Amino acid sequence: MIKIHIADTTARDATIVGASGKPPAPPALGRDGHVAVFRRYVTAGAGRQHDELSAELGPDYHQALVDGDPEIDFDAVGRLIEDTQSVLLDSDGHPLHCAPSIMEVTFGPDGDEVERREPVDVAANVNVDVPIRWTGRRM
């Protein structure tokens, strides 16, 4: 629950309380009483992307695509994917074994870096004893 203590130009103040309600249920997916089920399938195998195919068949491998299907791995394509996990990659495409840490960087007016630190959670200060004054200006 969020509380904001505000006042207008005539010094009338109020505390506003904001709370989120329960969202409505999403509509059922499907048609004519049949429920739609989404599945994930393998669409390409390893070594079947453009870079690998151009290294294997040459830069102009269009005729090989017409004559056969070198881009399709018949053992992998079409298989159902049951469970998935997110994998973080570094800039070279190699998997990271631990999540990267988030760093807060502060820059000065001249554009030079001033400080690096771990992010700090600061409590909101909009429900204080002295209300926030409404000036009528919009930013």
Q: Is the pLDDT of residue 62 over 80?
A: yes
Q: What is the pLDDT of residue 134?
A: 72
pLDDT confidence band for 27 (50 / 70 / 90): confident
Model confidence over 76-115: pLDDT tens digits? 888 998 888 888 888 898 998 887 889 999 999 999 999 9
Q: Is the pLDDT of residue 123 over 80?
A: no
Q: What is the pLDDT of residue 115?
A: 94
What is the chain's mean pLDDT, rounded? 85
Per the listing, tokens 């505000």 go with 6
Q: What is the pLDDT of residue 139?
A: 67
Q: What is the pLDDT of residue 24?
A: 92
Average pLDDT in the 58-65 region? 83
Q: What region, left, alpha or beta, does residue 136 occupy, with left being phi > 0 and alpha being psi -120 to 50 degrees?
A: left
pLDDT confidence band for 137 (50 / 70 / 90): confident
Residue 32, burial from CB neighbour count under 10 angstroms (0-12, 13-18, 19+): exposed
- Alpha helices, DSSP H, located in the chain: 50-57, 62-67
